[in-house]
Amino acid sequence: MDCIKTLHMIMCSPDELKQAQADFAVAWANAMQRNSKPPRTRFAANGRVAERLTCPVARQIILTTEEKWSE
């Protein structure tokens, strides 16, 4: 069954709508309690990508980008 048909069925039935709202509330609360992603860390350039490149233009682009992102 596609999403539109499911949504239509839920919207036409007060009991189904009430159950869907309860399911969404529980799912949202569970998602907020979960810490599935590590905390964000600042990007730190180390120059290692440029070491693997042989093309001088690509190397310069990488070095310039790393330099500006590390400031």
What are the strands, taking DSSP E only, across the chain? Answer: none
Q: Give tens-digit pLDDT for 41-70.
A: 666 656 666 677 777 888 788 777 777 776
- What's the pLDDT score for residue 38? 66
Q: Give tens-digit pLDDT for 11-40.
A: 888 888 888 889 989 988 888 888 776 666
Query: Is this model's pTM higher than 0.85 or not?
Result: no
Report residue 4's pLDDT band, with 50, 70 and 90 as the boundaries.
confident
Taking the CA atoms of the chain, what radius of gyration do you get in angstroms?
A: 25
- What's the pLDDT score for residue 49? 66
